[in-house]
Structure 1
Amino acid sequence: MIRHIDHAIIHTQTGKFPPVDTASTEPLYRQIYARFRGAIADGLLAPGDRVPSARALAEELGLSRGTIDVAYATLIAEGYFQSRGQAGTFVTPGLKPRLPGPAAVQPPAHAAGTVNMRPTSMLPLQMGLPALDAFPRKIWARLGARCIRATQIPEMIYSPAHGLHPLRTAIATYLQVARGVTCSPSQVFVTSGFRNTLELIVRALLNEGDRVWVEDPGYPPTRQLLQHANIAVTPVPVDEEGLVVAHGVRAASRARAAVVTPAHQSPLCVSLSLPRRLALLDWASRNQAWIIEDDYDGEYRYVSRPLPALKSLDRDGRVLYAGTFSKVLFPSIRLAYLVVPEAQVERFELISQIFSGGGPELTQAIVTAFLAEGHFARHIQRMRKLYAERRAAATSGLERALGAHMRIDPLPGGMHLILRMQGQGSDRSLAERIRSHGMFVHALTSWSITEKVEPALLLGFTNIDSESTAEKLGRRILKLI
Structure 2
Amino acid sequence: MAKNESSVGLLLASPPADLELNQWLHRELRAAILDRRLKPGARLPSTRQLARQYQISRGTVTTAFEQLRDEGYLEGQIGSGTYVAKDIPDGLLQARGMAGISKRTAHSRATLSSRGERISSTSLAIKPVTHAGRAFRAYHPALDVFPLHLWSRMVARRSRQSSRILLAGGEPAGYRPLREALAGYLGSMRGVKCSQEQVVIVSGIQQALDIVARLVLDPGDAVWMENPGYIGASAALRAAGGEMVPIPVDKNGLNVRTGVNSCPQARLAYVTPAHQFPLGVVLSLERRLALLNWANEARAWIFEDDYDSEYRYSGRPFPALQGLDQSGSVIYAGSFNKMLFPSLRLGYLVLPPRLVEPFVAARSIVDRYPPVLDQAVVCDFMVEGYFGQHIRRMREIYAERRLALIDAARSELQGLLRVDDLPAGLHTNGWFECGISDRQATAAASAAEIEVMSLSSFGVGRRVPNGLMLGFATVNPAATKAAVTRLAKVLENLKRNL
Q: Shift in Å at residue 320 of structure 1?
A: 0.2
Q: Shift in Å at residue 119 of structure 1?
A: 4.6
Aligned to 1:125: 136
Q: Quick one: distance in 2 between partners of 1:186 and 1:365?
A: 17
Q: 1:182 aligns with which of 189, 193, 199?
A: 193
Q: Quick one: distance in 2 between partners of 1:195 and 1:151?
A: 29
Aligned to 1:387: 398
Query: 5+ unaligned residues in a row in structure 1: which ranges?
Result: 1-110
How many residues in Structure 1 have an aligned counterpart in Structure 2? 370
Aligned to 1:429: 440
Tell me whether 1:239 sits opposite 2:237 in the alignment.
no
1:293, 1:319 within 8 Å by CA — same for their partners in 2? yes
Q: Shift in Å at residue 112 of structure 1?
A: 9.2
Tell me whether 1:168 sits opposite 2:179 in the alignment.
yes
Bigger Rg, structure 1 or 2:
2
Q: 1:355 aligns with which of 347, 366, 386?
A: 366
Aligned to 2:490: 480
2:459, 2:465 within 8 Å by CA — same for their partners in 1? no
Aligned pair in 2 of structure 1 residues 155, 113: CA closer, same or farther (>3 Å)?
closer
Aligned to 1:80: none
Question: Counterpart of 1:388 in 2: which secondary structure?
Answer: helix
Query: Could you give the per-residue CA deviations for residues 264-291 of structure 1, whole angstroms, max 9, x where no partner exists?
Result: 1000000000001000000001111000
Which stretch of the first structure deviates more once superposed, 199-208 or 332-341?
A: 199-208
Aligned to 1:321: 332
Q: Quick one: distance in 2 between partners of 1:287 and 1:344?
A: 17
Aligned to 2:376: 365
Aligned to 2:169: 158
Question: Counterpart of 1:308 in 2: which secondary structure?
Answer: coil
2:123, 2:235 within 8 Å by CA — same for their partners in 1? no
Query: 5+ unaligned residues in a row in structure 2: which ranges?
Result: 1-119, 492-498
Q: Quick one: distance in 2 between partners of 1:418 and 1:349?
A: 38
Task: Letter of the 1:127 partner, please give it.
Answer: A
Q: Shift in Å at residue 113 of structure 1?
A: 11
Which stretch of the first structure deviates more once superposed, 450-459 or 288-297?
A: 450-459
Query: Could you give the per-residue CA deviations for residues 89-130 of structure 1, whole angstroms, max 9, x where no partner exists?
Result: xxxxxxxxxxxxxxxxxxxxxx99998466523332111111
Aligned to 2:104: none
Aligned to 2:407: 396
Aligned pair in 2 of structure 1 residues 408, 335: CA closer, same or farther (>3 Å)?
same
Query: Could you give the per-residue CA deviations for residues 186-214 of structure 1, whole angstroms, max 9, x where no partner exists?
Result: 11110011110001101222211111001
Q: CA RMSD, aligned part only?
A: 1.7
Q: Quick one: distance in 1 between partners of 2:462 and 2:196?
A: 41
Aligned to 1:415: 426
Question: Counterpart of 1:302 in 2: which secondary structure?
Answer: coil
Aligned to 2:150: 139
2:432, 2:466 within 8 Å by CA — same for their partners in 1? yes
Tell me whether 1:438 sits opposite 2:449 in the alignment.
yes
2:334, 2:348 within 8 Å by CA — same for their partners in 1? yes
Query: TM-score, normalization: structure 2?
Result: 0.72
Aligned to 2:459: 448
Q: Quick one: distance in 1 between partners of 2:292 and 2:199?
A: 21
Q: Shift in Å at residue 340 of structure 1?
A: 0.4
Task: Letter of the 2:456 partner, please give it.
Answer: T
Q: Shift in Å at residue 157 of structure 1?
A: 2.2
**What's the % identity of the aligned pairs?**
42
Query: TM-score, normalization: structure 1?
Result: 0.75
Aligned to 1:9: none
Q: Quick one: distance in 2 between partners of 1:185 and 1:112?
A: 37
Query: Could you give the per-residue CA deviations for residues 145-196 of structure 1, whole angstroms, max 9, x where no partner exists?
Result: 1101111222222322211111111111110111011211111110011110
Which stretch of the first structure deviates more once superposed, 341-350 or 234-243?
A: 341-350
2:122, 2:238 within 8 Å by CA — same for their partners in 1? no
Tell me whether 1:469 sits opposite 2:482 in the alignment.
no
